């Protein structure tokens, strides 16, 4: 236990110690207390000062439209450089000649290549005309065969009908001859009975026997005639079929020749079309020997130099920057800040090489910054894993400097809500994102129930 304890029975004299007396007599001054109170009050006031939340990120200057950005001029054909008409820094208009190249492929060395190909086209066109005439001649032959076949077949059918009628006539004659033969035969039998009874003479019997033989001969002749008529009917039917088959074969052959001629004609037309396409390709190829400027701009760099140098198809030969362009800023933000963005949002920017004093929380008090608005937001991440947004100049703010060029650096701030500084410090300490919730619009607010309507019911 210390001697200075109040419970010490021996007592303790503070005056015996000088250092203890100095500590005991030390008192803080009123000036210091007032300063500490002022600093605390100032800090409390600062906590309630408005602070503009923002998202800061770097970017670069670009253009609003893709055709206004720097572009390369490529060759459509491979060739040899013959002459350059521009140099670095030249201003060219649309259609001005950049460079002229010559042919390096042996298939296009012929100076009269187009004229010779056009002669081939004319010859092939004559072949097409000849095939057309042959097809027309075969059409006429087919028509003639169809007419002849119609008449021949009709004639054969008439003969067939005549043979059928002849059979009917001969069958009637055969039946009549059979009746006569049977009658003569019956009479002969009766006369032979009468001769045995003595009622008729032998001479009359012989007369009837001769009549029967004549009737039999007539019957046999009629039967022979009937069989011949039936044979003629079969021949007439065969002739009808043969006539139809003959003309069918001839017409089929003519049709086959016609189809072959049409196939040759179509092949000739295809060759004509191919040759015409080749001539068009030759003309276009000649036009591509002269490479021109696609739009008005400045030639920034010649990539292929030297007369006689060989260049490949699609090779870059120069870069050009359009002389007229609308500037914009492309900046990249983190995925966690993506939900905070919307089109039309205000942005403050500091351009590289342009002096500025920036207060991120009080953008209106910044010096040397320029305003912009968000006009495009990508829906997918870029190669760096961040989202790209495009910013256009704010027409209500100061115009951007005319000295800006595409590719320059930018430090941009996307402005969000206005909150107290104390809240912003608390948010950063806890790692919370900025406030991006929007208040409900008047159309979304719930309407109050009108009790007067209920009373009126």
Q: Where in the chain are the domains?
A: 1-47, 51-65+325-438, 70-103+289-322, 113-287
236 has a pLDDT exceeding 50: yes
Distance CA 199, CA 194 (A): 5
* Tokens (6 digits) for 145: 């065969």
Query: What mean pLDDT comes out for the span 426-436?
Result: 68
**Local structure of residue 77 (DSSP, 8 states):** S
Query: What mean pLDDT comes out for the span 219-241?
Result: 87
* 64-70 contacts at long range (C-beta below 8 A, 24 or more positions apart): 64/326, 64/327, 64/328, 64/375, 64/390, 64/392, 65/325, 65/326, 67/295, 67/322, 68/322, 68/324, 68/325, 68/326, 69/322, 69/325, 69/406, 70/300, 70/319, 70/320, 70/321, 70/322, 70/406, 70/407
Q: Does domain 70-103+289-322 have CATH number 2.40.50.100?
A: yes
Distance CA 118, CA 183 (A): 97
Which range, 343-347, 391-395, 403-407, has the best average confidence (pLDDT)?
Answer: 391-395
CATH hierarchy code of domain 113-287? 1.10.287.620
pLDDT band per the 50, 70, 90 thresholds, residue 368? low
Q: How many CA atoms lie within 13 A of 127 on its CB side?
A: 18
Q: Give CA 272 to chain center in angstroms.
A: 29
pLDDT band per the 50, 70, 90 thresholds, residue 96? very high
Beta strands in 29-120 (DSSP E): 50-63, 71-74, 79-84, 91-92, 97-102
pLDDT per position as a tens digit, 124-151:
899 999 999 999 998 999 899 889 888 8
* Tokens (6 digits) for 355: 């002096």
21 has a pLDDT exceeding 70: no
Q: What is the pLDDT of residue 19?
A: 65
How far, in Å, are 29, 32, 33, 42, 47 from residue 37 at the CA level? 13, 9, 6, 9, 15
Task: State the chain's mean pLDDT as an integer.
Answer: 80
Site of tokens 């027309």: 136
Closest among 100, 61, 111 to 77, alpha carbons compared: 100
Choice between 300 and 439, residue whose per-residue pLDDT is larger: 300
447 has a pLDDT exceeding 50: no
Is the CB of residue 62 less than 8 Å from the CB of residue 406? yes
50 has a pLDDT exceeding 80: no
pLDDT per position as a tens digit, 376-394:
888 888 888 888 989 999 8
CATH topology of domain 51-65+325-438: Elongation Factor Tu (Ef-tu); domain 3 (2.40.30)
pLDDT per position as a tens digit, 287-309:
888 899 988 999 988 887 778 88
358 has a pLDDT exceeding 70: no
Choice between 436 and 154, residue whose per-residue pLDDT is larger: 154
Is the CB of residue 73 less than 8 Å from the CB of residue 302? no
Closest among 138, 141, 140 to 130, alpha carbons compared: 138
Query: What mean pLDDT comes out for the span 173-184?
Result: 86
pLDDT band per the 50, 70, 90 thresholds, residue 13? low
Q: What is the pLDDT of residue 417?
A: 63
């Amino acid at each position: 236990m210390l001697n200075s304890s109040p419970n010490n029975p021996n007592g303790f004299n503070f005056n015996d110690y000088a250092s203890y007396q100095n500590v005991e007599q030390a008192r803080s001054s009123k000036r210091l207390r007032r300063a500490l109170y002022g600093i605390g009050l100032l800090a409390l006031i600062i906590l309630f000062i408005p602070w503009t939340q923002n998202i800061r990120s770097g970017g670069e200057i670009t253009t609003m439209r893709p055709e206004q950005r720097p572009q390369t001029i490529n060759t459509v054909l491979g060739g040899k450089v013959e002459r350059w008409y521009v140099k670095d820094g030249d201003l060219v208009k649309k259609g001005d000649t950049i460079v002229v190249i010559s042919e390096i492929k042996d298939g296009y060395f012929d100076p009269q290549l187009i004229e010779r190909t056009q002669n081939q086209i004319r010859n092939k066109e004559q072949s097409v005309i000849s095939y057309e005439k042959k097809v027309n001649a075969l059409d006429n032959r087919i028509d003639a065969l169809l007419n002849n076949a119609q008449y021949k077949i009709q004639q054969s059918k008439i003969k067939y009908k005549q043979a059928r009628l002849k059979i009917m006539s001969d069958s009637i004659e055969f039946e009549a001859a059979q009746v006569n033969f049977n009658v003569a035969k019956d009479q002969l039998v009766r006369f032979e009975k009468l001769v045995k009874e003595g009622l008729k003479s032998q001479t009359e019997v012989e007369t009837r026997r001769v009549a029967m033989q004549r009737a039999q001969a007539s019957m046999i002749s009629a039967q022979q005639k009937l069989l011949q008529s039936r044979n003629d009917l079969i021949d007439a039917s065969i002739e009808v079929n043969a006539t139809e088959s003959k003309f069918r074969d001839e017409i089929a052959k003519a049709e086959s020749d016609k189809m072959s001629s049409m196939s040759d004609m179509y092949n000739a037309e295809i060759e004509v079309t191919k040759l015409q396409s080749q001539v068009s390709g030759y003309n276009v190829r000649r036009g591509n020997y002269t490479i021109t400027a696609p739009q008005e701009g400045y030639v920034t760099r010649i990539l292929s130099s030297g007369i006689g140098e060989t260049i490949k198809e699609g090779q870059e030969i120069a870069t050009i920057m359009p002389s007229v362009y609308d500037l914009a800023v492309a900046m990249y933000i983190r995925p966690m800040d993506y939900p905070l963005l919307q089109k039309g949002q205000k942005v403050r920017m500091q351009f590289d090489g342009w002096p500025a004093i920036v207060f991120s929380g009080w953008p209106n008090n910044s010096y040397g910054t320029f305003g912009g608005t968000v006009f495009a937001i990508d829906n997918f991440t870029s190669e760096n894993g961040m989202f790209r947004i495009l910013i256009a100049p704010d027409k209500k703010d100061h115009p951007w400097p005319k000295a800006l060029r595409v590719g320059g650096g930018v430090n941009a701030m996307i402005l969000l809500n206005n909150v107290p500084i104390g809240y912003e410090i608390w948010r950063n300490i806890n790692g919370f994102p900025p406030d991006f919730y929007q208040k409900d619009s008047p159309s979304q607010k719930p309407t109050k129930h009108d009790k007067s309507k209920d009373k009126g019911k």
